[in-house]
């Protein structure tokens, strides 16, 4: 039957034939995310600004976090470095790419680095206070309790950073920053009732040390603040 006759049938202009009706085949084409059919990499691109700027890569397969099962390879190691855990750290200005491999899946993530030689000014509120919260020092069972511990009290979970700044001040040695109690205690270089909290040379240690060396100042008025927090993946499910 001619094509124009079928259009008339479809439009209701003449009855459809009862015999030898055509077989309708529907083809569905599925499109996968640009970063891979079997795995999802977050963030899909990496932009690092400042000296030692870093970004952690998270990889999921379905509802599983498979980051620790992946391998990472940078195209240009002079631009950035990557650890076996997926931590990408800036080294020099430029562009590169990170290849993430999981079993037979491979995803390439673009990487750009800028201002790699510039030292960003550390923020007491954004960079230092969160360290004590993360390490448990500002918790209710430690220095964040209503009475503090050993004459040292922090606000609960860093809720009042201005009070934390006043409390930390006497525990800073501006002449010899590495001898500051705020570093000696949590690294257990000296007796500490709260035990070991982070290691000498760790990111936490280097951040506090650099803050002290740069003057141990409080944030200026109008300095940037965190506006939002995004968790990836947005939802998950524990294994049954």
91 and 171 in a single domain? The answer is: no
pLDDT of residue 20: 44
Mark whether 173 and 195 lie in a shared domain.
yes
Is the CB of residue 162 less than 8 Å from the CB of residue 218?
A: yes
Model pLDDT, residue 178: 93
Band of the pLDDT at 29, cuts 50, 70, 90?
very low
Average pLDDT on 55-80 reads 92
Domain boundary residue among 84, 114, 144? 114
Max avg pLDDT among 1-15, 23-37, 60-74, 88-102: 88-102
Range of the domain at 47: 40-114
Q: Is residue 2 part of a domain?
A: no
What are 87-136's pLDDT values in tens digits? Answer: 999 999 999 999 999 998 999 999 999 999 887 778 888 888 889 888 88
Residue 15 lies in a domain: no
- Asked if 196 and 189 touch (Cβ cutoff 8 Å), the reply is no
Residue 4 lies in a domain: no
pLDDT band at 141 (very low <50, low <70, confident <90, very high): confident
Least reliable range by pLDDT among 8-12, 76-80, 141-145? 8-12
Domain harbouring 81, CATH code: 2.60.40.1080
The pLDDT of 177-203, averaged and rounded, is 85
Residue pair 100/120 in contact by the 8 Å Cβ criterion? no
157 DSSP assignment: G
From residue 187, give the alpha-carbon distance in Å to each of 102, 131, 142, 175, 178.
Answer: 36, 13, 16, 20, 11
Number of domains in the chain: 2
The number of residues making up the chain comes to 240
The sign of the torsion formed by the CA atoms of 110, 114, 116, 119 equals negative
CB 143 within 8 A of CB 129: no
* pLDDT above 60 for 73: yes
Residue 156 is assigned to a structural domain of this protein: yes
Q: Against a cut of 0.85, is the pTM above it?
A: no
């Amino acid at each position: 039957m001619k094509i124009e006759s079928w259009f008339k049938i479809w439009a209701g202009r003449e009855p459809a034939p009862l015999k030898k009706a055509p077989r309708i085949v529907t083809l569905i084409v599925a499109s996968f995310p640009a970063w891979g059919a079997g795995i999802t990499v977050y963030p899909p691109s990496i932009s690092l600004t400042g000296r030692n700027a870093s970004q952690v890569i998270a990889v999921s397969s379905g509802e599983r976090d498979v980051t620790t099962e992946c391998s990472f390879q940078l195209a240009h190691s002079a631009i950035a470095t990557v650890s076996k855990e997926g931590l990408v750290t800036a080294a020099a200005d430029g562009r590169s790419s990170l290849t993430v491999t999981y079993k037979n899946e491979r995803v390439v993530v673009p990487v750009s680095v800028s201002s790699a030689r510039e030292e960003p000014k550390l923020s007491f509120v954004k960079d230092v206070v969160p360290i004590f919260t993360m390490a448990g020092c500002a918790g209710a069972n430690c220095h964040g309790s209503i009475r503090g511990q050993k004459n040292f009290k922090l606000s609960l979970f860093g809720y009042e950073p201005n009070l934390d700044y006043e409390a930390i001040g006497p525990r800073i040695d501006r002449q010899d920053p590495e001898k500051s109690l705020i570093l000696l205690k949590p690294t257990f270089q000296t007796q500490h009732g709260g035990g070991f909290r982070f290691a000498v040379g760790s990111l936490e240690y280097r951040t506090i040390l650099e803050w002290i060396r740069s003057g141990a100042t409080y944030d200026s008025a109008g300095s940037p603040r965190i506006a939002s927090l995004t968790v990836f993946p947005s939802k998950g499910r524990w294994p049954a």
